[in-house]
Structure 1
Amino acid sequence: MADLAVAPASHPPPAPAPATDLFGEPIEAHPPWFKPDSFLRADFDPDAYVAELRSYVPLESLAAELRAHLAALRAELVGLINRDYADFVGLSARLKGVDAAAARMRAPLADLRDKVAGFRAGASAALAALRAGLEQRAAATAARELLELLLDTSHVVSKVEKLIKELPSAPSDSSNAEVPSIDAQNVEAGTGVRETQSILLERIASEMNRLKFYISHAQNLPFIENMEKRAQGATKLLDGSLERCFVDGLEHRDAKVIYNCLRAYAAIDNTSSAEELFRTTVVSPLIQKIVPQNYAKAVAGASSDGLEDDYEQIKQCVEKDCKFILEISSSENSGLHVFDFLGNSILKEVLSAIQKGKPGAFSPGKPREFLKNYKASLGFLDFLEGYCQSKSAVTKFRSEPAYTDFMRQWNVGVYFSLRFQEIAGGLDSTLTNTISPVGMNEAQGKPLLLKQSIKLLESLQACWSDEVLVFSHCDKFLRLSLQLISRYTAWLSSGLSARKASDGSPNSPADAEWALSIPIDDFIYIMHDVHAVIGELSESGSFIGHVNQLLASCPIEVLNLVKQSILQAVEPLEEVLPVIMNVMIGIIVKKSNEDLKHLKGITATYRMTNKLPVRHSPYVSGILHPLKVFLEGERVSYLSEDDKTKLCRGSTDKITAIYYDLVSEVVTVARKTESSLQRLRQGAQRRVGASTDASDNIISDTDKICMQLFLDIQEYARNLRTIGIDAREIDSYRALWQCVAPKDKQENIQF
């Protein structure tokens, strides 16, 4: 403080007046972002303060402001010291006697500290003694509990051995004998010996359960290790006695004895022994009577690999001879739900019997028999699940190893592969053959005419027939159906493309050869069948309805997806229809071209002659002859009226267009030839000085050719009218009329 002291002043200096701006307002000494009051807060954190300001204030500006603030604080401190300087100097003088007062206060405080230390030492010693006592008590308690456990173990072992010794003295038959005195007070009067034995066995099983609990909690002790041999011997005697009593109860259908024995098995956690005893004692003899175990004998006899009749007999046996124990094990509040006689006894024995007696029943090599056996097996499993009391029981039954092993025997994947080869291979072999329509008598009343189309629908129906379909693999059968439709469409498209190209080269696909040489009448069958197949597979057809009916248990979203997939598979088939129409039109047009080629002979007929045309040419009647023959054929009845109209319109349009091209070429060539000859003729006449006026009234060869062609196209128009086509509606015919008609008839087409 000495360095801050300044010379004393009689009067404190006046406080400086705050600076003001031009308008008299005080000027802030610090910028707005610098808040000196922040340093006075109790939770002030310099690091957080600097980190907050550095995001928008340069560190140099912040350091300068802090230095200015420090200087202001120093100045303020000096001012305060100068203002109260007299008090500041006299402070040390007023502190006399403080040391003595502090010494007087220090004595009682030291005494208090010593007392507190002594009390703390005493408390620590008492706490340590208390903890030692508690540890000794815990050790004694643990030792006592261990001793009690050992005594209880010894007592239970002795008790079990004593109870087991009482068992052989009781008769094993059904005669009424006196109940051993040890259990007389616990058995109701008049209870049979068999029931008494079962009650006694249940009690022994309960004690054995206690014994196992004691041994598990006192392992690695010499006493317990010595007891284990006695416990194992008692367990062996208990298992044998319980087995005899349980088998005796099964033979006599004694529900109380069976109930008590099952409770005993459940108590010792040995449910598998009870299930195995029931399988070998009751189920196995019944199943062996139904399913012969000697396979050679079964093959030699009348027995086959069919399982439907066997399952019916097994169901009757289960209903008659096994239902009693199923009802006992599923009774409410019995604690016997841990037993699974359905899977581990009945189903396990059935599987073993089929594997030994009828192993061929699981073979998918015979698809028809395999599917019958598989569906019969699923029905048998449904029958067994009917004895389950709840969904959880059904889930437990399906999770049993016996159920899993049984389902693993049915290789449905191999079955589908065989069916795939059968169905897809059958269609493929049919498609590779030539077009083979059914007979006219056979076709009456049938929607399809070609064997290939019939085979397609038969294959699709086979995929979803009861004799083929496996519901668990319906997705694969749906994919097979879509593949069949695609294969049929590809077969049509390949053949039509090859026929349209008309090359017949070796590069053509093998399945396209059928379309290279067939007559046009067969394409009528193809057009008819494609329409019929599309109608059958459309949304209004019966195929989608049949599939949705089979999949009715599926969600509506799945049904919609199935329907959409089938409709999408049909879309490429719909695109084939215009191609078929174009192929038929192309065949007709090609035949008509053979007659149109005779048109070029008109030029030679009327060149350098005085002959004038008087009637149409003979070739005109043959232009539309192929189309007329087609329309008058018997098979054209299989075409719809719309297809007939499209065929006539498309054929006549193309024929007329070709007709126009040929006529235009003939007229053009004739005019060029006539112009060349006329120039030569005029040049010769000028050389000889002859007059050229004599040739002005002579009809030229081009005019005679045009006159003949005009007569021809009029006859052609009349022929078009006979098949229902108005020539004036054809653009190429109007161009043809303009090409050859006289000037006075250019605007009015009459024929």
Structure 2
Amino acid sequence: MSDSVATLPSPRSAADVFWDNSRHPPLWLNPSLFLSPSFDSESFVSDLRTLVPFDTLRSELRSHISSLSRDLLDHINRDYADFANLSAELVDIDAAAVRMRAPLLELREEISEFRGSVEAARVARASGLNQRYDADAAREVLESSLEAFRVVSKVEKLIQGQHDGATMRETQSVLLERIASELNRLKFHMAPHAQNLPFIENLEKRIQSACVLFEASLRSCFIDGLINSDANVLYNCLRAYAATDNVKNAEEVFRTTIVAPFVHNVIAHEAYDGTLRDELENDYKQIKHFVANDCKTLLEISSTDKSGLHVFNFLANSILKEVILAIQKVKPGVFSPGRPTEFLKNYKASLDFLAYLEGYCPSRSAVTKFRVEAICIEFMKQWNVGVYFSLRFHEIAGGLDSALTSASLVFIQDSDSDKRNSPTLMLRQSITLLDSLRSCWKEDVLVFSAADKFLRLALQLLSRYCNWVSSAVNARKSNANLSPGCEWAVSATAEDFVYVIHDVNCLISEVRGDYVGHISHYLSSCSSEVLDVVRKSMLQGVESLQNVLPLLKKTIIEVIVDQSVEDLSQLKGIAATCMMSNKPLPVRHSPYVIGLLRPLKAFLEGDKASHYLTHETREELLFHTLTEITRLYYELAAERLSEARKTENFLQKSRQNAQKRAGGTSGVADHNVSGTEKMCMQLLLDLQEYGRNISALGLNPEEIAPYCSLWKCVAPPDRQKTISV
């Protein structure tokens, strides 16, 4: 409970609690709580409502507000006269204000003067500092200009010195490296803020002239070193290029001077004799040999550890760039995926060439740098793998779709099967599926970078085949609106579906075994997680094949049952025959029983089922087919018996009524066997023969639930518990 109640003294009596006094509040109302910072009106009212009624609380609070209002008015009225007389009692206020204003004005003036002097001192100091800064800057410009002048003079002397007399290559390269160092210093001394000075403008002309002479000399020396494979000269020249931040020029000199003539001779030579072929494998082979022999020295120097020459990328910007330019100019057709076989061959040869160039990279970071170079990225964009896959997709999927839209099953001969390397498959549709699946992972079809797309294509092929089987089976039942490729199922025999089951089992075994193993071997460079995902994906595709097997088995059962049911139609004649009064008691089974299981027996003992179905599958088909035939047998027999009993009861009542009308007696029981009893006896003989035929097929009739039900339906009461055939 809150403080509004906890701090109240206990009421002395009921009169104290509900006592109403305008001057003093009751004991349960504590006005001091209203002044508390943590006062909560809702808690206050909630606590007090447990002590007093709500109307009493509201009345008391209104009385308290009225009391406060009266107190406020009393205070205002009591002190109002003193407040009104306050201005009259203040004497000589203006004079006092003047006396206090004088020292304040004097203080303000002193502060203003002090502020002015401080500001003047600040301005003077800032001016002095600016002058000092300008002097320092001028001195710095002067010193830099003088140093630049000395460096330019030194560079001119060095350049002039290398042209005096015959200078050896190595000496010249050392001198050029020194000049490059001086030119690098010169950039530092040529401060940007000094560019507008006449002295600097005149000096820039000398610098430009010196740079032109230096670049010409460096180029000549670098080319000389490349031609003669002089490692020391190349090293010094590259350091000179790097010092002057002229990396691109070095790469371009090497490309145009050394690489371009050879590459042009290799790639374009076929065009000279008119036998141009869009093949790159042999070209890359010659270029690899050229790189290994003529470029090895420069590549090794540029990749020397801690040499500072890592800024050069001759592999990409010189060798690869020239190769791309030559291919685009002479053999642009290699980039066209319109001829998938040639495209893939050239694409893989190009990847192999890139891998060969990456072999010259000294570190993993160098390989990464090579791959992100603009020329390398541009080269990879030339190969439109997406269009290539689309063409392969239509080629592979189109071949399977064409086979699956055939109006009939296409059976193959054993010799044809051997040629296609699929000796276990019996249908052309199944062989086409397996060939299509294998085509997805052939060396001359698959692109590793698009392996995920080819995996998806393989799964789509499996799904298409499964849909073909299930659609055909479903179309057999409806026999309407047949889609292309489903027509064969309408007239298909049980043996035809045996071929389909056999092929599906072979495909399951092939995909789950060698096919998945081949994919895993091809993707062995991928991580274990990727391989696991691929394996699970293919096994899911196998599950879709397994899901059509029960549907095919059920269809075989339906085909056999349809053939057997034709003989069951003879049950209609048994009732009519047995209902004849002069018909003797049956002593042997009906002829129709022999034909009931003839289609099933012929199917199971046939060559197709014996050769292409496993023992487990044959046993499964035997049990379920017998169960279905017996179920129909039981339903038809029970229906005929029920109709016969109804007819017999009706006739018996009619005879009794006729005897009563004729005055005859009906107390004598008719001991003759009724037609229904004859019918049960005949059906029991038929059922015993049917059971013997089931046993001949290797199955116990008692294991078939409809057989037991039919036995109880036709057997006499004393024989219903024991089945004897």
User: Displacement, 1:677?
Assistant: 3.1
Say whether residues 1:274 and 2:250 are aligned partners.
yes
Distance 2:270 2:448 in 1: 34
Equivalent position SS for 2:250: helix
Aligned to 1:635: 608
Instruction: Output the amino acid matched with 1:283.
Output: V
Give 3-state SS (helix, strand or coil) of 2:591's partner: coil
Q: Aligned match of 1:622 in 569, 581, 595?
A: 595
Match for 1:599 among 560, 571, 574? 571
2:170 aligned counterpart, secondary structure:
helix
Residue in 1 that maps onto 2:538:
566
Residue 492 of structure 1, aligned match among 460, 469, 476: 469
Q: 1:645 aligns with which of 619, 636, 640?
A: 619
Q: Which amino acid aligns with 1:196?
A: T
Q: CA RMSD in A?
A: 4.1
Partner of 1:182: none
Matches within 5 A, 1:405-424: 405-424=378-397
Measured after TM superposition, the shift of residue 694 of structure 1 is 8.8
Q: Give the stretch that moved more between structures: 525-534 or 587-596.
A: 525-534
Find the counterpart in structure 1 of residue 327 from structure 2.
354
Counterpart for residue 434 of structure 2: 457
Give the distance between the partners of 1:32 and 1:684, measured in 2 at CA. Answer: 111
For 1:365-419, what per-residue CA distance to the aligned partner results, in whole angstroms no more than 9, with x for missing partners?
Answer: 2323322222222222121111111222111111212211221121111111122
Code of the residue aligned with 1:211 in structure 2: it is L
Does residue 137 in structure 1 map to residue 110 in structure 2? no
Moved more, 623-632 or 737-746: 737-746
Using the alignment, how far apart are the partners of 1:437 and 1:31 within structure 2? 107
Q: For the residues of structure 2 that align with 1:619 and 1:127, how far apart are their CA atoms?
A: 131
- 1:267-346 matched pairs, under 5 angstroms: 267-292=243-268, 295=271, 297=273, 299=275, 304-346=277-319
Structure 2 CA distance for aligned equivalents of residues 121 and 688 of structure 1 = 156
1:226 Cα deviation from its structure 2 partner: 4.3
**Alignment match of 1:237 (pick from 213, 234, 240):** 213
* Residue 204 (1) aligns with residue 179 (2): yes
- Structure 2 matches for 1:138-177, cutoff 5 A? 138-171=133-166
Aligned to 1:583: 555
CA displacement at 1:718 relative to structure 2: 0.9
C-alpha distance in 1 between matches for 2:537 and 2:313:
44
TM normalised by structure 2 equals 0.80
Structure 1: runs of 5+ lacking an equivalent? 1-19, 23-28, 36-48, 69-113, 172-191
Deviation at 1:283, TM superposition (A): 1.4
Shift of 1:330: 1.7
Contact 2:601 2:697 in 1 (8 A): yes
**Does the 8 Å CA contact 1:293/1:356 hold for their aligned counterparts?**
no
Question: How many Å apart are 1:722 and its aligned residue?
Answer: 0.6
- Following the alignment from structure 2 to structure 1, what is the Cα–Cα distance between the partners of residues 514 and 35? 87
Distance in 1 between residues matched to 2:121 and 2:718, nearest whole Å: 145
Match of 2:523 in 1: 551
Contact 1:292–1:298, Cα closer than 8 Å, also in 2:
no
Instruction: Letter of the 2:572 partner, please give it.
Output: K
Separation (CA, whole Å) in 2 of partners of 1:330 and 1:244? 22
The alpha-carbon deviation at position 462 of structure 1 amounts to 2.2
Asked whether the equivalents of residues 524 and 639 of structure 1 are also in contact (C-alpha less than 8 Å), the reply is: yes
Would the alpha carbon gap of residues 139 and 298 (structure 1) be closer, same or farther in structure 2, given more than 3 Å must change? same
Match in the other structure for 2:409: 435
1:533 matched to 2:507? The reply is yes
Q: Is the 8 A contact 1:294 1:356 kept in 2?
A: no
Code of the aligned partner of 1:268: T
Separation in structure 2 between the aligned mates of residue 664 and residue 116 of structure 1, nearest angstrom: 128
- For the pair 1:250 / 2:226, whether they are aligned, the reply is yes
Match of 1:391 among 347, 355, 364: 364
Extract unaligned runs of 5+ from structure 2: 1-8, 12-29, 46-60, 72-108
- In the alignment, the residues of structure 2 paired with residue 215 and residue 635 of structure 1 have an alpha-carbon distance, to the nearest angstrom, of 97
Query: Counterpart amino acid of 1:258?
Result: L
1:706-746 deviations in whole A, cap 9, x for unaligned? 32222211111111111122222222222222232234433
Residues of 1 paired with 2:581 and 2:112: CA distance?
157
Please tell me the residue identity of whatever aligns with 2:200. I
What residue identity is the alignment partner of 2:139? R
1:707 aligns with 2:669: no
Q: Is the 8 A contact 1:448 1:532 kept in 2?
A: yes
Which of 219, 222, 227 matches 2:195? 219
2:497/2:556 contact within 8 Å kept: yes
Letter in 2 for 1:199: V
**Cα distance, 1:703–1:123 mapped onto 2, change above 3 Å:** closer
Aligned to 2:672: 698
Residue of structure 2 equivalent to 1:183 = none
Determine helix, strand or coil for the equivalent of 2:295: helix
CA distance in 1, matches of 2:666, 2:114: 162
- Please tell me whether the aligned partners of residues 293 and 353 of structure 1 are also in contact (alpha carbons under 8 angstroms): no
Aligned length: 658
Q: 1:235 to 1:55 in 2, by over 3 A?
A: farther
- CA distance in 1 between counterparts of 2:691 and 2:115 reads 134
**Residues 414, 423 of structure 2: 8 Å contact kept:** no
Per-residue displacement from partner, 1:313-343 (whole Å, max 9, x unpaired)?
2211111100011112122333222111111
Q: In structure 2, do the counterparts of structure 1 residues 746 and 223 end up closer, same or farther at CA, with 3 Å as the change threshold?
A: same
Secondary structure at the counterpart of residue 446 of structure 2: coil
Give the % identical residues.
53
Instruction: Return the alpha-carbon distance in structure 1 between the equivalents of residues 122 and 575 of structure 2.
Output: 140
1:608 corresponding residue in structure 2: 580
Matched, 1:466 2:409: no
Give runs of aligned pairs for residues 40-55 of structure 1, distance below 5 A: none
Q: Give 2:687's aligned amino acid.
A: I
Q: Is the 8 A contact 1:295 1:358 kept in 2?
A: no
Q: CA deviation at 1:630?
A: 0.3
| SS in structure 2 of the partner of residue 575 of structure 1 | helix
Query: Which deviates more, 637-646 or 213-222?
Result: 213-222
> In structure 2, how many angstroms separate the alpha carbons of the residues matched to 1:748 and 1:53?
91
